[in-house]
């Protein structure tokens, strides 16, 4: 079935390190792909999105490219900050039947240490 698989955490990095969080998906059709971020005790915030193959979503220094050939949407940031410490969720969305289908990964916890 349709699903999202993302890298398990927790991930701990030093400030200014390079970040990659892997996300792969399985879907029939052509889904839209998203990364959400959740800070402690808060709801999810949309970080970036891509709606078709080869699109690159970017926001706040984070980037992810929609790779149809590898069914991946890996999240990257060149230099992380302490304030990036949060849980990151990969998600996909597509319309099937009578409603929108939305699948979340299980989340990857990131801690950035000074």
What is the contact surface with another protein in residues (CB under 8 A)? 32, 34, 36, 41-46, 49, 51, 89, 91, 93-95, 99-100, 102, 104-107
Whether cis (ω within 30° of 0) applies to the bond prior to 82 is no
Q: Look at phi and psi of residue 41 and say left if phi exceeds 0, alpha if psi is from -120 to 50, else beta.
A: left
Is 23:5 a contact under the CB 8 Å cutoff?
Answer: yes
Q: Which residue's CB is nearer to another protein, number 19 or number 107?
A: 107
Q: Say which residues have a Cβ less than 8 Å from residue 14's Cβ, sequence separation at least 6.
A: 112, 113, 114
Q: What is the closest distance, in whole angstroms, from the C-beta atom of residue 35 to another protein in the complex?
A: 10
Q: What is the closest distance, in whole angstroms, from the C-beta atom of residue 60 to another protein in the complex?
A: 16
| 28 to 23, 80, 94, 113: CA distances (angstroms) | 17, 34, 9, 40
Q: What is the closest distance, in whole angstroms, from the C-beta atom of residue 79 to another protein in the complex?
A: 26
Q: Which residue's CB is nearer to another protein, number 6 or number 80?
A: 6
Q: Which residue's CB is nearer to another protein, number 46 or number 82?
A: 46
Q: Which residue's CB is nearer to another protein, number 17 or number 59?
A: 59
Q: What is the closest distance, in whole angstroms, from the C-beta atom of residue 105 to another protein in the complex?
A: 7
């Amino acid at each position: 079935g349709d699903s999202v698989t993302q890298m398990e955490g927790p991930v701990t990095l030093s400030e200014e390190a390079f970040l990659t969080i892997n996300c792969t998906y399985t879907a029939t059709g052509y889904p839209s792909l998203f990364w959400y971020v959740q800070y402690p005790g808060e709801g999810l915030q949309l970080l970036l999105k891509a709606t078709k193959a080869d699109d690159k979503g970017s926001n706040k220094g984070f980037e992810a490219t929609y790779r149809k050939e590898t069914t991946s949407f890996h999240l990257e940031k060149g230099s992380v900050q302490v304030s990036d410490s949060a849980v990151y969720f990969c998600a996909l969305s597509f319309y099937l039947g009578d409603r929108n289908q939305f699948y979340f990964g299980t989340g990857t916890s990131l801690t950035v240490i000074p």
